[in-house]
Chain A
């Protein structure tokens, strides 16, 4: 058993240290990111933390013009579009993230299957600093 629980809080604490962490089931070998405390594949409950390679490919995306409050505060919106997507990681699990390095002015040119690598997006200063999960297109 891991000493650190598989919580969202722990996931984002690791992200602050620029580590993309998931959980690994020692029984069936499945890797989960976001990390799960319980393995839905084999119902095991003694999962272990694992650091992911950060390599993956784009599985779906959208270029968003009507932004939620948190993204408006980060400077995005109709005049500054951004891309969110689902990334399939090399370890086989999928996760949602902001996608960087794509041409948001021409969303029709973004290609599903494009290789991406993890990026750590810092927002806020000092105590308010938070790290968000991103992936960027591999140049």
Chain B
């Protein structure tokens, strides 16, 4: 029952993503082709794509977002891989984190030696109200949404529970958004790759051009506390606490461990994988963290045989700023109730002792929900291989972690990668 290891090892030998953003006229298949091409180019020793044996595609709701269901075979077809089995995986915003785990398990089973994992989402064709409604279908539509809860509202309610339990100030949340925009400014794939200070300057310039009074924020925190500049979405979550509505795709190539060096000079070995499920937000023993994330993390650490202190960098699911703070606790980087202090002290910045979301995270890089989990792997791939360019973290990095949450924690997938 309590097996903690894979039957055989699995490695990542290629990874690529489309730009994340709003792309009128591009469908998920078009974005997936971009991701696939970049993945192909990232395979050091080259790849005949016909060696790929199966595809696992994470997608939350192309059905509602673009009126297209049954997307996995379309992705296979558009990259020339039919008639190979192509399976869609849907676990809300954790769809491609779970697709990754399914791909890993498929190789570990011995059935396949090479599997393509994808993530896709096309959200920007719908007006905001319908995007809000569609995202809310990831909550419990019988018992949560009739209460008026939106997705931001559910996370905001965890934020009020967290604030009351631990005395966290609003500033802690705003610091997370500020930091992730700083990080995203170094990522050319990011949807909102502007620093908050850049956004402030742009607002001032725009006001001056229109002959309106020029705002006089003393610093970024003053801007973020200004209700006109940063309106409340669901108190205490404001606009800059929320990840954007995005289009995007990502692709990750997995092979069995013994084949890894045949394709790659620097493969990433999948040393930890964990996944857990849970009920509706109201049904959990705690509202100040995500039990499924805690459990998935424990599974991944147990498989890897390492501790949170060994993780050099983590890409965590910051769909809302409170989510990043809870993630840093659920993953064991900080004790419960200490994550908000770490955020204020800069410990999760790229210069801190626990760098979190050096890609810019979902907040700045973008959150095409079904692609976000696979997208996180791209950053770990680049950072552990020393290919992250201007945003490369210093030193030799060994372990990287991804944390991908579906809904408000009904699903969580955690993965740990090692550069040997």
Contacts and interface: CB of A to CB of B under 8 A. Distances in A.
Interface string A67-78: 111111000100
A68 B148 contact: yes
Given A66-B234, A107-B235, A59 B287 contact: yes
Given A86-B281, A94-B283, A70 B153 contact: no
Interface stretch (A23-31, A44-52, A95-103): A95-103
A94 B158 CA distance: 14
B149 A84 contact: yes
Given A61-B160, A97-B147, A66 B281 contact: no
A90 interface: no
Given A34-B142, A60-B161, A65-B234, A84 B147 contact: yes
B153 A84 contact: yes
Contacts of A108: 235-236
A104 B156 CA distance: 14
A84 B235 CA distance: 11
B62 to A, nearest CB: 20
* Residue of B148, B160, B282, B283 with highest tally of chain A CB at under 10 A: B148
Contacts of B283: 94
A68 B129 contact: yes
B144 interface: yes
A95 B143 contact: yes
Given A107-B236, A112-B161, A95 B153 contact: no
Contacts of A86: 157, 161, 281-282, 287
Contact of A96 (B133, B144, B164): B144
A94 B147 contact: no
Nearest to A65: B232
B237 interface: yes
B42 interface: no
B234 A64 contact: yes
B147 A112 contact: no
Q: Is the interface of B mostly helix, strand, loop or mixed?
A: helix
A98 B147 contact: yes
A116 interface: no
A60 B234 CA distance: 13
Nearest to B143: A34
Nearest to A82: B148
B150 A66 contact: yes
Interface string A103-139: 0000110111100000000000000000011000000
B150 A64 contact: yes
Contacts of A65: 231-235
A66 B132 contact: yes
A63 B280 CA distance: 19
Interface residues of A, number: 35
Contacts of A111: 164
B152 interface: yes
Nearest to A96: B147
A64 B153 CA distance: 6
A61 B157 contact: yes
A98 B283 CA distance: 16
B287 A96 contact: no
Contacts of B110: none
B232 A84 contact: no
A96 B280 CA distance: 9
Contacts of A76: 148
Nearest to B236: A107
B344 to A, nearest CB: 18
B394 interface: no
A107 B145 CA distance: 20
Interface in B232-247: 232-237
B157 A98 contact: no
Contacts of B158: 60
B132 A68 contact: yes
B312 interface: no
Contact of B148 (A8, A59, A98, A110): A98
A82 B152 CA distance: 14
Nearest to A32: B283
A69 B134 CA distance: 10
Contacts of B156: 62, 64
Given A62-B157, A66-B132, 13 more contacts: A62-B237, A64-B153, A64-B235, A68-B136, A68-B150, A70-B145, A84-B153, A84-B157, A95-B282, A96-B147, A96-B282, A132-B146, A133-B146
Interface of A: 8, 11, 34, 59-72, 76, 82, 84-86, 94-98, 107-108, 110-113, 132-133
